[in-house]
Chain A
Amino acid sequence: MAADSYEDVVLDKGSAVPALEVPPQDLYHAKSFWTRWIFCQDAKVIAIQYSITAISIGLVALVLSWMMRLQLAFPELVPFLGPAEYYQFVTMHGMIMVIYLLTALFLGGFGNYLIPLMVGARDMVFPYVNMVSYWVYLLAVLVLVASFFVPGGPTGAGWTLYPPQAITSGTPGGDGLGIVLMLISLSIFVVGFTMGGLNYIITVLQARTRGMTLMRMPLSVWGIFTATCLALFAFPALIVSCIMMTLDSLLGTSFFMPAMNQFGEQLSYSGGSPILFQHLFWFFGHPEVYIVALPAFGIVSDLISVHARKNIFGYRMMVWAIVIIGALSFIVWAHHMYVSGMNPWFGFFFATTTLIIAVPTAIKVYNWVLTLWRGNIRLTTPMLFALAFIITFVNGGITGLFLGNVIVDVPLSDTYFVVAHFHMVMGIAPILVVFGAIYHWYPLITGRFLHEGMGKFHFWISFLGSYLIYFPMHYLGFVGVPRRYYEMYDSEFITTSTTFLNQFITIVALIVGFSQLIFLYNLITSAKLGKKAGKNPWKACSLEWQTTDVPPTHGNFGKELPVVYRWAYDFSVPGATDDYIPQNTPPSEVSGAQAEKT
């Protein structure tokens, strides 16, 4: 244990710390353009590569959602879009957003950029494996994109890929290469992610700089670290189900496929269990929600603390909540399967665990609000996004409590209420954090601010717009509009007012979608034309802002690694000259500062 280093500590020795004895890490040094920018082993470059790829494929998914919305509201505008294409777009939109955008962006993007810098490491511990991780991820994305161009097109099985329909010919892409490419792409993604995840975990555990105890780490690192642990435990379930379904599809095994007739013909399958697939899928699928949410929780905690100039309220409880939510997320998965049929006691069990998970989550929300309480709040763009996240997450979370109850879930299942719920809680909420985080760390990555005016416009249109899109969807769900229906125009059981609501939602969705172009424009132009940020423009305490160069160069911290003397939240400390004390400021330099009373 590292605690051995406590052996000879005399408590009243004063603030003197022994000289830095951290052994230099064997750093990889790029020698050409290719090894510096393309096949690069520097975590910061890998982070950018991950982010660009994830955002690019995310834009594809965004365009797919426009097509879906147009079909639902103004089908005459998209005559080329038939039922098959609609289902394919639904499927690809969901899968891309959840896996290839959010997971990759939070862990591959923010994880790679922030972990080494925040824990005071020169790089990830296995840089080569880290680089391979990105290229494997890119391969997964390319395989996925390839499925758009194969005969029969991509799979239209829905992002949950439930068998038997996923691999039968009635489903778009079901008897062709579409579903196979999806399964292969997911398997490749899991392999790539495991390589990256290994790096994130070992770097956090073993490569922190002197003085950086686990309980001094910023909550962003805690969030990303715990999410990675979750992913390493949950993704095997995805790859196992993908391998077995690929064999069912290609080689005629019957792992998940029951005996069935298709168009009057008996298929060769027999005895497989589709429910088994659902269990495996959701054993991955539910932790996946938290794989996306936990990094968002961590990042938003840091944003709120920095921009409210206050230490985070209940730091330890925030860490515990992250860990407890992570653990609980493995015993709630069957709440996605209430309508699949299960022993009522199972339903009771999973409903109970689902409700219990609200407790640590609520603790986090209270702590964010209490951090804001009497803080010196600065309504910067990142802060606006962080505040919007809290509200959105509470909204989406509460509808989650509705759906966690069996008796409420059954009538609402497969309606737009569910669509509204998961888009609020794991679509809009994490994306708001992504935007907030980009506005916050962009000055570190490029040395320049994003344009504030454009940022605020982008915020208001995205925030208000997303509410205008998803709030009405709750109502649609209540009146019984089913999800995944290609067309609802003449359905007798649906009131005509829903048509107008659908048209309204579509118009807002298009406006919000196009407004993202402003963000992209801001992102591109500010890199050259943005206001110069200088060093530590937000006056934050954590180590990523304390690098010698901005943007941080290869090796992150110049000649010597920083020594950490405090936690990452010493804001507005009584007696201190500034309203922040960076983590690497020794006590002797802030002798007037009094200890925090938290």
Chain B
Amino acid sequence: MKKKESIFQLLTQKPWDPSQAKLDNLHKGETINLSKGKLGLRFIMIVCTIFFCLFIVTYADRMVYPDWQIMPEPLLLWFNTFVLLVSSVAFVSVQIASKNKEFEKVKSRMLIIGVLALIFLLGQLMVWQKLISSGYYLSTNPANAYFYLFTALHGLHLIGGLFYWNIAVKKVWIPSEVAVVKTQHTVELCAIYWHFLLAVWVVLFGLMLFS
């Protein structure tokens, strides 16, 4: 008897029913066949998505007012986006290498990813500096305010990612701590978060570009 349950089937179970009880007695206690870390990460990503979506909603609401003045998008922003994209692609190769247990490759590429993230953050700061020196201050216009806000919040999330990257690097780097499955798992979680942050940035950048 192979049985896949939908949420509706699950919620209509009668736990007091003897035949249901016999099935339930063998339940392992897990709801979803997913590691706790992965499920936790999914929840973090859901919360982050709601967080950014709410900002986007306020952005859409605010931009219709007549005082909205579009900001220029310096070329450097495209470069930064490219850097983030490359770091995400590099993480895909790290995921593959980690799956194949090629930890030497993982080590070097993880370092490259860290450097790329720092370059991205530095690049964003340079964009800020450039815009400020051109007179686009935070309080001058709501469009400016949103630009600085979006870049700052995305940057903060990336810095959070770098903390987890640090944990992953430690696990990969220090041989005594290499418990293969755990390390692979950590690397994978870090990679998923990285791709997520790329997606967030693409959406935010696209929003600012096309609105």
Contacts and interface: CB of A to CB of B under 8 A. Distances in A.
B30 A2 contact: yes
A9 B1 contact: yes
Contact of B32 (A5, A205, A587): A205
Interface in A214-259: 214-216, 232-233, 236-237, 239-240, 243-244, 247, 251-255
Contact of B30 (A206, A232, A243, A247): A206
Interface in A260-276: 268, 270-273, 276
A77 interface: no
Contact of B43 (A17, A22, A202, A316): A202
16 contacts: A1-B33, A6-B2, A9-B23, A17-B26, A205-B32, A210-B29, A232-B43, A236-B51, A243-B153, A251-B138, A253-B145, A272-B142, A280-B58, A316-B11, A595-B16, A595-B18
Contact of A255 (B17, B25, B145, B153): B145
B32 A319 contact: no
A236 B27 contact: no
Interface string B13-43: 1111111011111111111111010011001
Nearest to A231: B47
Q: How large is the interface on A (under 10, 10 to 19, 20 to 34, 35 or more residues)?
A: 35 or more
Contacts of A125: 36, 40
Given A119-B29, A315-B15, 12 more contacts: A3-B3, A7-B1, A7-B2, A15-B22, A198-B44, A206-B34, A247-B138, A251-B138, A253-B142, A254-B142, A268-B139, A280-B54
A233 B50 contact: yes
Interface stretch (B61-69, B72-80, B185-193): B61-69
A18 interface: yes
B13 A213 contact: yes
Interface of B: 1-5, 10-19, 21-34, 36, 39-40, 43-44, 46-47, 50-51, 54-55, 58, 61-62, 65-68, 138-139, 142, 145, 149, 153
Given A6-B1, A7-B1, A595-B17, A212 B29 contact: yes
Given A202-B40, A214-B10, A5 B145 contact: no
A236 B54 contact: yes
Given A2-B28, A17-B26, A268-B139, A254 B21 contact: no
Nearest to A569: B16
Contacts of A7: 1-2
A566 B54 CA distance: 43
Contact of B31 (A120, A206, A233, A320): A206
A6 B51 contact: no
A323 interface: yes
A4 interface: yes
A3 B5 CA distance: 7
A6 B138 CA distance: 59
Contacts, number: 189
Given A240-B58, A272-B142, A2 B29 contact: yes
Nearest to B61: A276
B196 to A, nearest CB: 15
Given A206-B39, A244-B58, A565-B21, A22 B4 contact: no
Contact of A5 (B4, B14, B27, B40): B27
Contact of A214 (B16, B17, B31, B67): B31
A313 to B, nearest CB: 12
B139 A253 contact: yes
Nearest to B21: A566
A201 interface: yes
A270 B139 CA distance: 10
A598 B3 contact: no
- Interface core residue of B23, B43, B68 (most chain A CB under 10 Å): B43
A93 interface: no
Nearest to A235: B47
A207 interface: yes
A209 B14 CA distance: 19
B25 A17 contact: yes
A379 to B, nearest CB: 27
Contacts of B40: 125-126, 198, 202
A211 interface: yes
Contacts of A316: 11-14
A18 B26 contact: yes
A11 B19 contact: yes
Contact of A2 (B11, B31, B39): B31
A50 interface: no
A578 interface: no
A211 B24 contact: yes
A213 B36 contact: no
- Interface core residue of A119, A209, A596 (most chain B CB under 10 Å): A596
